[in-house]
């Protein structure tokens, strides 16, 4: 009780105008209402919008949505498509399964280190039993089952199609079938139909629409574009939807969007990761010494599906964008080139404000204060000629607990503080200092 009283006292002392409002906007559940931000309000270059729309149209796009901190900045549909039109996610839906497996684990119904045969039974592959027993749920999430990728049909989930090639964990290859069988793993672990468990745990919790449908061997999610955007908000906000903690296992959530194994550094738990030193792509066992999307922010993580079904999330900018449509280029499995092209256009649109315009107030402004997992700041400080500056964060003992180099050409500076304990901190930029509080 004393601790609670102390926390309340500190909040009142340091934050008399404290409220439960959060930086990110969450569109209401069960409503078409969704707040928007005019492009002019963000200081972006409106003259670049029309060429961008022409590009999207030429690339067979049906829907494109861009959010800034959860609010709609761009929502564009082509031909007869509209906000209610249903389309398929293709392999972008793998990220839905990734979250659902994590929820099943947090519910105590499965463990990533469990043998897959615990749920599918012995003989779910045609591998020797000792090799089959090496395969775990984690290997299914990371595309490292070691199953033969030279079989005729990589979608086939029948045992005769699932042959031994290498020990689990020693080979990365984009193999659909072992992923698809995660559906059966979840059903066996939970005792519920996959659609029902997903609807209960994710879809209805965040106001999505849609359904999983069997197409041949594959299980494909169908929804409108706004539902994909809602899912992006959930993941970008550390598994929270407003005050609902949907994905409670934050360690798992962190693993989802970080390198999951050393073979393909650009792959998490069914999510694609930008900013890594190398990458592998579907249909190849080669390692490429480059990022997935060189023109995108390095912190982008993405859900990528066949024919350009795309969800991109950039924590540093607060930007989430969704694209649905037909194939935009000659990449069959995932459209990393097209995703990069989109970012090239967005980089022209998201024209940074001048230093004078951006930092017009005298004090450091912390937009999310008290904070949970990140703070977003602006300041009127004078940046050095290289357009970089160092931010330092101190605890109440005067110890520097964090240093971050920020770039002036990013309109707002968003800093991850999820590792900081609850308490009072001081942020210093140049000779300016401001207080903020971490609460959870």
Q: What is the pLDDT of residue 64?
A: 99
CA atoms of 380 and 373, how far apart (whole Å): 24
> Which residues of the chain are in CATH 3.40.710.10 domains?
34-351
Q: What is the pLDDT of residue 4?
A: 42
For residue 130, CA distances in Å to 88, 168, 205, 294, 343 come to: 38, 11, 41, 42, 46
pLDDT one-digit tens code per residue, 392-429: 888 867 788 998 887 655 556 788 898 998 877 888 87
Tokens found for residue 152: 């005729």
pLDDT one-digit tens code per residue, 29-44: 999 999 999 998 888 8
User: Does the pLDDT of residue 241 top 60, yes or no?
Assistant: yes
Average pLDDT over residues 322-336: 88
Tokens found for residue 350: 């998201």
Tell me the range of 125-139, 238-252, 368-382 where mean pLDDT is highest.
125-139
Nearest C-alpha neighbor of 298 from the set 266, 323, 253? 266
Task: Give ∠ CA 206-190-306 in degrees, rounded to 5.
Answer: 55
Tokens found for residue 291: 């990022």
Burial letters for 3-35: b for 16+ Cβ neighbours within 10 Å, e otherwise?
Answer: eeeeeeeeeeeebeeeeeebbbbbbeeeeeebe
User: Does the pLDDT of residue 347 top 50, yes or no?
Assistant: yes
pLDDT one-digit tens code per residue, 139-180: 999 999 999 999 999 999 999 999 999 999 999 999 999 999
- Class in CATH terms, 34-351: alpha beta
Q: What is the pLDDT of residue 426?
A: 83
Q: How close are the terminal C-alpha atoms of the chain, in Å?
A: 17
The third-level CATH classification (topology) of the domain covering 2-25+355-438 is Immunoglobulin-like (2.60.40)
Q: What is the pLDDT of residue 37?
A: 92
Q: What is the pLDDT of residue 42?
A: 86
Long-range CB contacts (within 8 A, 24+) of 233-238: 233/24, 233/26, 233/27, 233/67, 233/70, 233/206, 233/320, 234/99, 234/202, 234/206, 235/95, 235/99, 235/313, 236/24, 236/313, 236/315, 236/320, 237/24, 238/372, 238/373, 238/418
> Which residues of the chain are in CATH 2.60.40.10 domains?
2-25+355-438
User: Does the pLDDT of residue 329 top 50, yes or no?
Assistant: yes
Q: What is the pLDDT of residue 362?
A: 38
Tell me the range of 5-9, 163-167, 283-287, 413-417 where mean pLDDT is highest.
163-167
């Amino acid at each position: 009780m004393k601790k609670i009283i102390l926390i309340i006292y500190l909040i009142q002392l340091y934050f008399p105008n404290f409220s439960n409002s959060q930086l990110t906007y969450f569109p209401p559940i069960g409503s078409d209402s969704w707040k928007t931000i005019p492009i002019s309000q963000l200081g972006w270059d409106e003259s670049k919008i029309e060429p961008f729309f022409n590009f999207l149209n030429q690339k067979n796009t049906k829907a494109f949505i861009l959010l800034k901190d959860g609010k709609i900045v761009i929502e564009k549909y082509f031909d007869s498509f509209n906000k209610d039109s249903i389309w398929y996610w293709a392999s972008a839906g793998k990220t839905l399964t990734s979250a659902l497996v994590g929820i099943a684990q947090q519910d105590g119904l499965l463990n990533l280190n469990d043998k897959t045969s615990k749920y599918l039974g012995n003989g779910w592959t045609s591998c020797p039993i000792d090799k089959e027993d090496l395969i775990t749920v984690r290997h299914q999430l990371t595309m490292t089952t070691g199953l033969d990728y030279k079989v005729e049909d990589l979608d086939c989930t029948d045992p005769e199609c699932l042959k031994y090639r290498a020990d689990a964990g020693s080979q990365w290859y984009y193999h659909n079938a072992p992923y698809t069988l995660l559906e059966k793993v979840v059903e066996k672990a939970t005792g519920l139909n996959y659609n029902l468990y997903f609807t209960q745990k994710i879809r209805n919790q965040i106001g999505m629409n849609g359904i999983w449908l069997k197409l041949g061997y594959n299980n494909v999610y169908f929804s409108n574009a706004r539902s994909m955007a809602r899912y992006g908000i959930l993941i970008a906000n550390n598994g929270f939807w407003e005050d609902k903690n949907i994905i409670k296992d934050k360690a798992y959530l962190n693993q989802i969007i970080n390198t999951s194994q050393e073979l393909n550094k650009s792959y998490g738990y069914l999510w694609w990761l930008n900013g890594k030193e190398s990458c592998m792509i579907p249909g190849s066992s080669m390692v490429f010494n480059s990022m997935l999307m060189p023109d995108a922010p390095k912190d982008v993580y993405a859900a990528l599906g066949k024919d350009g079904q795309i969800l991109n999330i950039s924590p540093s900018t607060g930007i989430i964008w969704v694209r649905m449509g037909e194939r935009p280029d000659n990449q069959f499995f995932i459209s990393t080139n097209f995703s990069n092209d989109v970012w090239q256009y967005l980089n022209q649109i998201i024209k940074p404000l001048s230093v004078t315009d951006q930092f017009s107030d005298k004090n450091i402004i912390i937009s999310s204060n008290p904070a949970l997992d990140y703070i977003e700041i602006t300041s009127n400080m004078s940046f050095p000629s290289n357009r970089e500056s160092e931010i330092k964060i101190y605890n109440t003992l005067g110890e520097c607990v964090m240093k971050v180099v920020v770039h002036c050409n990013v309109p707002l500076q968003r800093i991850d503080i999820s590792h900081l304990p609850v308490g009072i901190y001081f942020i210093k930029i140049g000779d300016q200092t401001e207080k903020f509080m971490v609460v959870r």
